[in-house]
Amino acid sequence: MALADFDIVLFGGGGDLAMRKLLPALFARDRDGHLPPGARIICAGRHHWSREEFLNVLETNARPHVAAAETQPQRWQAFCERVQYVALDATDPAAYEPLIQAMRPDSELVRVFYMATPPALFSRICHNLADVGLANERSRVVLEKPLGRDLASARQINAEVGKVFNESQIYRIDHYLGKETVQNLLALRFGNVLFEPLWRREFISDVQITIAEELGVGNRIEYYDTAGALRDMLQNHLLQLLCIVAMEPPLSVQADPVRDEKLKVLRSLKRFNQTTLAQNIVRGQYRAGHVGGIAVPGYRQEGAPPDSRTETFVAVKAEIDTWRWAGVPFYLRTGKRMADQLAEIVVRFKALPHSIFAQPSSTFQPNCLVISLQPEEGLQLNLMAKTPGDRMRLKPVELELDFREQFKMPRMEAYERLLLDVLRGQLTLFMRSDELEAAWEWVEPILNYWEQEQTEPLPYSAGTWGPAAASALIGRDGLQWREEA
Ligand code: BG6
């Protein structure tokens, strides 16, 4: 579907996200011919930069993140022609005149306002847009995470933004939903008959979802130290992955059918009590160590306060109270400065009920489906097979599907896909307000518990799989994390 002409305004347009992700994503779509001739990008920020100065900033901070900008300089130049810069204090309604001037009045244009700012500004900016007459019924607003820091603040953002825009105009981004393999998971589950009959408690023993990063907090310490891994990753990315794994088949891939099913999963997550809060959650903070053979400092040496209790690792045992999933543990874990850079979903099936072979059934590895989101994008199915020879001896083997090999086509980064969806008006891959609140409802007791307990996060050395307690968490159930097995 060809896109209509649009004006997209990036609030926070001189910031890190705009430079590293949003502008490179828009460039990539422009390079491949997806942007219409009348597409314009207006970056709004606090700095008083001239257009010239802003183009220099773009050159230094965005271009290095842009694939092919070096080899196709004329395309980069053409992209820069679309970009404008407007200096404004977005909190001050009296300061919007330059933005009003920069935007085209044509009522046929799609207008997108992208909030790449701290969430504390979302409501103010939306109200200001309404007051100065820039928001109309054709406008769309994109909200970047973190969407609040607890249930109350998330509700407040929803309520305030909702006074200016209808739910159908609001795009709450979780960039994990834009990843190719996450969508492939939908294809795997609902485009094949093979898996769905087995996708339930009768056949699945447990599910592990890991997002491990080798990187530390880098230059984001100011934000990160007020957030931590639970707010930064688990409340959003990990829970969204869990929803895609666990949801019932939606009626279609339209926005509301998918979001209705995800909401049911979030609402069915078993609530924690004092015992499970103490037992089923592990939080950690990295100390100095080695990642990929390189010595790296600990979290508290990276600019965090010396007594910071912010967690850089969290592991949770979750359960879903439904007929399909009752009793199946979902282990979620994420951390910075871990032993490897990977995101994966591991679905482990139950053990063989009985062995007809001479080998004891304990030598049979349960079937396991590994969905790799990054750095590899693929599927691995572990099966048992007979080894060649005259004896009936079975060994574990792997069936592998590498999506990059299979589809030798250029890939789209998550932000490229999601920005196109915003411009097309397609809401399926964005969170609805009730989903966001349901996720916070489940997560908030954990935050409150940590607050009450006032305990330190457990230390772990950079370059490991997190505190030993995370292995114990899953070990209590007689299981191991895949990388530790
Ligand atoms: C962001 C978090 O949402 O996701 C970052 O704020 C994290 O802390 C990032 O590094 C991870 O995303 P990806 O796509 O690199 O796995």
pLDDT per position as a tens digit, 313-357: 999 999 999 999 999 999 999 999 999 999 999 999 999 988 999
Q: Is the Cβ atom of 232 under 6 angstroms away from ligand 1?
A: yes
Residue type, 73: P
Binding positions = 46, 145, 175, 179, 213, 232, 336
- Sketch the domain layout of the chain as residue ranges: 6-144, 177-411+432-484
Distance 121 CA to ligand 1 centre (A): 21
Distance 364 CA to ligand 1 centre (A): 37
Residue nearest to atom 15 of ligand 1 (CA): 213
Distance 193 CA to ligand 1 centre (A): 33
Specify whether the CB–CB gap between 421 and 247 falls below 8 A: no
Q: Which residues are 283's β-sheet partners?
A: 314
Q: CATH top-level class for 177-411+432-484?
A: alpha beta
Strand-strand pairing, 6-11 and 39-45: parallel
- Ligand 1: which of 225, 232, 234, 372 to mutate, judged by most atoms within 8 Å of the beta carbon? 232
Distance 104 CA to ligand 1 centre (A): 34
Q: How confident is the model at residue 259 (pLDDT cuts 50, 70, 90)?
A: very high
Residue of 34, 237, 290, 354 with catalytic role: 237
82 phi and psi, to 5 degrees? -80, -15
pLDDT of residue 409: 86
Topology given in CATH for the domain delimited by 6-144: Rossmann fold (3.40.50)
Question: How far from chain centre, in Å, is Cα 453?
Answer: 29
pTM check: above 0.90? yes
Specify whether the CB–CB gap between 39 and 6 falls below 8 A: yes
Q: Is the Cβ atom of 213 under 6 angstroms away from ligand 1?
A: yes
Residue range 434-462, pLDDT digits in tens: 999 999 999 999 999 999 998 899 999 99
318's CB contacts (< 8 A; 6+ apart) are 242, 269, 270, 280, 329, 330, 331, 332
Tokens of 432: 């609805």
Inter-CA distances, 145 with 139, 172, 196, Å? 20, 8, 32
Binding positions for substrate = 175, 179, 213, 232, 336
Give the span between the Cα atoms of 28 and 34, in whole angstroms.
9
pLDDT of residue 69: 59
Binding positions for NADP(+) = 46, 145
Residue range 115-144, pLDDT digits in tens: 999 888 999 999 999 999 999 888 999 999
For the chain, the average pLDDT equals: 95
pLDDT of residue 229: 98
Ligand 1: which atom is nearest the Cα of residue 414? 14
The torsion angle over the Cα atoms of residues 260, 263, 265 and 266, rounded to 10 degrees, is 180
Per the annotation, the verdict on 127 as an active-site residue is no
